[in-house]
Structure 1
Amino acid sequence: MLYAVVDIETTGGFASGNGITEISILVHNGVEVLNVYDTLINPEQDIPTYIESLTGISNDMVIDAPVFSEVAGEIYELLHDKVFVAHNVNFDFSFIKYQLSSCGYELNCKKLCTVRLSRKLLPGYGSYSLGKLCAALNIHIHNRHRAGGDAAATAELLTLLLTADVEGVIAHTLSRASKEQVLPPNLPKSQIDRLPRVPGVYYFKDQKGTVIYVGKAKSIYQRVCSHFSGNNAGKQRQDFLKNIHTVDFEVCGTELMAFILEAAEIKRLWPKNNRALKRFEQKYALYVFEDQKGYMRLGIDKYKKQAAVLYSFNTLLEGYDLLRVLIQEHLLCEKLCFIQKNRACCTGHEEGRCSGACVGKESAAAYNVRVKYAIAHLKTMLPTFAVIGEGRTDDEQSCLLVEEGKFYGMGYISHHTDINGSEMLKSVLQPYPSDEYILNLISNHVEKFPQRKITV
């Protein structure tokens, strides 16, 4: 088996927006290096000052070097039929695959990461960065942070790893069944092996244990692994993968519960790599307040997190439709409900449907009685029901509770639990914040599975 030990220097940290400034490829037969390829590359863009300070490669040094397209064919021939080896292999591979693809070459070869292999075969070191690990192993790096020097050190490290591999770890890593080749450099495979193939929520954490991403899944194992497939060369994905050190999870009885838990956890933890659900917010709400004359007034306004909300909506139309129902059923004043403006009295008073609160003909006390009845009626209009589904084990079933149109919470109950009373269910369920996103999830679910909805 032949290995291609690779190191590159670049203008930045992600392939789609940066270029390669130097590449070194050492062909290794498992015992020794057979061939060395090393060249500067003109990246066709400026090299940032901090990169020049780190690598010593300046714009002047690469101005007469070949651009990547001029050497792409030679690089492809060196790599395509060998095992691609690098320290943090997915970084180097993403750059080279991206550049080769832009030149019409599709690189598809097996990969080995010497970071991951070192953690397995040479455990116990404080750091597995190339510089610190080689220092601990007495591997001298000539010309650090240059492709040739780092590739030569990686080749020595590979020789050491091959010698230390008495249990066939490398062969297993290269097998089709292994996920090692695609995993982030800092995520142990043991973390993946313990993931269940059931619905739930998973948490990617960084080196300090901070949650950086929350996701939901029908199968936790398959969904987590899907994050590592493909070769997206963008900065966001590359930084994301680099920062994953552990993955935790929570099993849910159903996919619906996983969706809801994900939404709640994103709002609670605010992980930096979650974006879509962070942007979801209720837009409008129905409020009640007492004006200076003592009249209770219903009105639709923008949703305010700190205000007491009677009900919330995604659209103004939805809110006004509900408000008009309350006005019609309880003979409320359209002017006091902000439906009509710039009139001395509302049209309802002219037509006999309003007793004249808008012009002071009805007292606040009398009008407020009907407003209170309208609010009580609103609560009866808003449904209270449970959604029953599969549990995590055969001895339980999942239960979600919606009370008066708002999501109360969810949890697990016995198959013998009496679910006729909401107070009893509330005593055993875990409360969660309610929002329109969660209510829409539940509504869509019960529309698809009406037999799972039980009126409480």
Structure 2
Amino acid sequence: MYAIVDIETTGGHASANGITEIAILIHNGKEVTEQFRTLVNPGIPIPIYIQSLTGINDDMVRSAPRFNEVAQQIYALLHDKIFVAHNVNFDFSFLHYHLAAAGLHLQSRKLCTVRLSRKIIPGLASYSLGRLCKEVGIEVVERHRAMGDAEATSKLFSMLLEKDHEGHINKTLNPRSKEQSLPPHLPKEDMDKLPSVSGIYYFHNSKSKVIYVGKARNIKKRVSSHFTNNKPGKQKQEFLRDIHHISFQECGTELMAFILEAIEIKRLWPAYNRSLKRFEHAYGLYSFDDQNGYLRLAVDKKNKYSKPFYTFNKILDGQALLKNMIAEFNLCPKLCFVQRNNEPCISINEQICTKACEQMEIPASYNERVINALSKLKSALPSFIVIDEGRNLTEKSCILMEEGQFYGMGYVSTDLKDQDIADIKKYLTPYASNDYIRNMVFNYSIRYPLKIRLNSTLIAEDTPN
């Protein structure tokens, strides 16, 4: 038995909205045998645009029952039936949420007439209920009212049952199919193509624009997890409605997937990605020439128009590094903004400062030590290659860090012998470095030192497990 359902609501997600009308038609696979319809007082004002769409206003629902007053009756109609609706996860999410609030837990197999229509009646311009019914000759009475839309969905479902020569309905109801949990506009073929390997995946909207990028150790499993719950919140419901297509890129390792996800989020700026968009270290070490010709060093907040020599999460970390440079290279704390008052330079008595702050040392001499300090800092930043598994047995993955900055990544053949960095770069795709990626690779190199090559000629050696 099937329960064909349509509801009208005060908004697009259950957690902050109420139901204003519900219609349920019990269908035995041939015809409707029972029907239920009621207005519902949602307990909150109905927005004007919803009133205009449905024709249901606050006066109409004022004397209608609250949902908890009819919840038991609704549950009795639904709990042992197959739940059918046009965009089934929308209607089901509302009823599941509000029934749960009334102490009733609805568990039903589901069928979506949007998804079924795409399979059984392919090639139509639109699968919205109104346009679809017009295409197949079904008259809709009282569009955007629960009973009118439920009756149209019932007639459409009867047509789908009749035309389903390839058994799509039974396939969908198979517990292994998982199709009933998919977003209404996402072809199951997209899910079937997903591999069970490390990589990144892209969700696209109806215009093929990427709206979300994710990473995974197992792409198929991770993508499926997005659809295994049907949370009633606004963001989740809008997210599911916007997904029309999935694409993916395989990566040799989970680390490469993490890196590529960060790169693609920065490049594409997808609407539903929240993290990684703004991750950057807050402070940087900068140098500049002052009006007297002295080369100054300073730790300051990062900005997008200047490139720092080094970056820090905390200003104290930057000041600690700067103090070490002052002590090692006899730099002036005043010219490095470590001492900011008008008192005499504290390092003159300690014979660290050579009185450049009093212009008693010529700029060229002082600047040479600043340049040496920066050169040592730069040379201390490591260059190394991370060698790991490839996408298949004939290749290895390579991630190159050059003087402390992420250069790029790619794949080389397992047959490649004794290559230097210049040769290896030919096989790598360069990417813009950022603090998130740099720290991720550094942390990985500490955790897995046997996968690190400091001498590039070791590129072809077997990578330890």
Q: TM-score w.r.t. structure 2 length?
A: 0.96
- Deviations 1:366-412, CA, capped at 9 Å, x for gaps: 00111111111011111111111110111111111111111111111
Query: Which has the higher mean CA deviation after the structures are superposed, 329-338 or 419-428?
Result: 419-428
Change (3 A) 1:307 1:343: same
2:156 & 2:395 partners in 1: Cα distance? 52
Question: How far did 1:419 drift?
Answer: 6.7
Counterpart for residue 249 of structure 1: 248
| Structure 1 residue aligned with 2:294 | 295
Residue number in structure 2 paired with 1:393: 392
The separation in 1 between residues aligned to 2:327 and 2:393, in whole angstroms, is 50
Q: 1:340 to 1:93 in 2, by over 3 A?
A: same
Residue 43 of structure 1 corresponds to which residue in structure 2?
A: 42
> Helix, strand or coil: the match of 1:410?
strand
AA in 1 matched with 2:114: V
Asked if 2 retains the 8 angstrom alpha-carbon contact of 1:345 and 1:359, the reply is no
The TM-score normalised by the length of structure 1 is 0.98
Q: Deviations over 1:63-121 (max 9, x none)?
A: 11110000101101111111000000000000000000000011111000000000000
Structure 1 partner of 2:169: 170
- Are the equivalent residues in 1 in contact too, given 2:298–2:337 (CA < 8 A)? yes
Decide whether the 8 Å contact of 2:230 with 2:236 is kept in 1: no
Aligned to 2:138: 139
> In 2, are the aligned partners of 1:335 and 1:345 still within 8 Å (CA)?
no
Give distance in 2, aligned partners of 1:418 and 1:364.
49
- Unaligned stretches of 5+ in structure 2? 456-465
Runs of 4+ aligned structure 1 residues displaced above 6 Å come to none
Counterpart contact for 1:291–1:297, Cα < 8 Å = yes
Q: Deviations over 1:297-345 (max 9, x none)?
A: 1111111122132111111122122222222221111111111121444
The answer to whether the 8 A contact 2:199-2:257 is kept is yes
Deviates more, 1:319-328 or 1:120-129: 319-328
Deviates more, 1:56-65 or 1:441-450: 441-450
| 2:88 alignment counterpart | 89
Is 1:56 matched up with 2:50? no
SS in structure 1 of the partner of residue 151 of structure 2: helix
Change in 2 beyond 3 A, CA 1:249/1:54: same
Task: Tell me, yes or no, if the aligned pair for 1:143 and 1:149 is still in contact at 8 Å.
Answer: yes
Shift of 1:35: 0.3
Correspondence for 2:349 = 350
Q: Provide Cα deviations, 1:268-287, integer angstroms capped at 9, x if missing partner.
A: 11011111111312211111
Q: Which position in structure 2 is the counterpart of 1:276?
A: 275
What CA distance in whole angstroms lies between the structure 1 residues aligned with 2:339 and 2:419?
43
RMSD: 1.2
Amino acid at match of 2:451: R
Q: Hey, what does 2:191 align to over in structure 1?
A: 192
The aligned residue for residue 258 of structure 2 is 259
| Residue 77 (structure 1) aligns with | 76
Partner of 1:431: 430
Amino acid in the other structure paired with 1:264: I
Read off the aligned partner of 2:388 and give its amino acid letter.
Answer: G
- Return 5+ residue gaps in structure 1 as ranges: none
**Alpha-carbon separation, structure 1, partners of 2:411 and 2:304:** 29
| Residue in 1 that maps onto 2:284 | 285
TM-fit CA distance, 1:422? 3.1
Query: Cα–Cα, structure 1 residues 77 and 224, in superposed 2: closer, same or farther, change >3 Å?
Result: same
Deviations 1:5-57 (A, max 9, x none): 00000111111111000000000010000100111101011111111111111
Q: Residues 402-453 of structure 1, C-alpha deviation per residue, up to 9 Å, x if partnerless? A: 1111111111112243577433333321111222211221122222211111
Paired residue for 2:147? 148
Aligned AA (1:20)? I
Query: 1:447 aligns to what?
Result: 446
Mapped contact 1:387–1:399 kept (Cα < 8 A)? yes
SS of the residue 2:348 aligns to: helix
Q: Which residues of 2 match residues 203-352 of structure 1 at below 5 A?
A: 203-352=202-351
Q: What SS does the aligned partner of 2:394 have?
A: coil
Letter in 1 for 2:121: L
Letter in 2 for 1:88: N
Contact 1:345 1:356 in 2 (8 A): no
Identity %: 55
For 2:445, the aligned partner's letter is V
The count of corresponding residues between Structure 1 and Structure 2 is 455
What corresponds to 1:373 in structure 2? 372
SS at 1:278 equivalent: coil
Equivalents in 2 of 1:315, 1:72: separation in Å? 55
Tell me if the contact between 1:254 and 1:390 (Cα under 8 Å) persists in the aligned partners: yes
1:36 partner SS: strand
Q: Is the deviation greater in 21-30 or in 48-57?
A: 48-57
Give the whole-Å Cα distance in 1 for the aligned partners of 2:313 and 2:13: 39
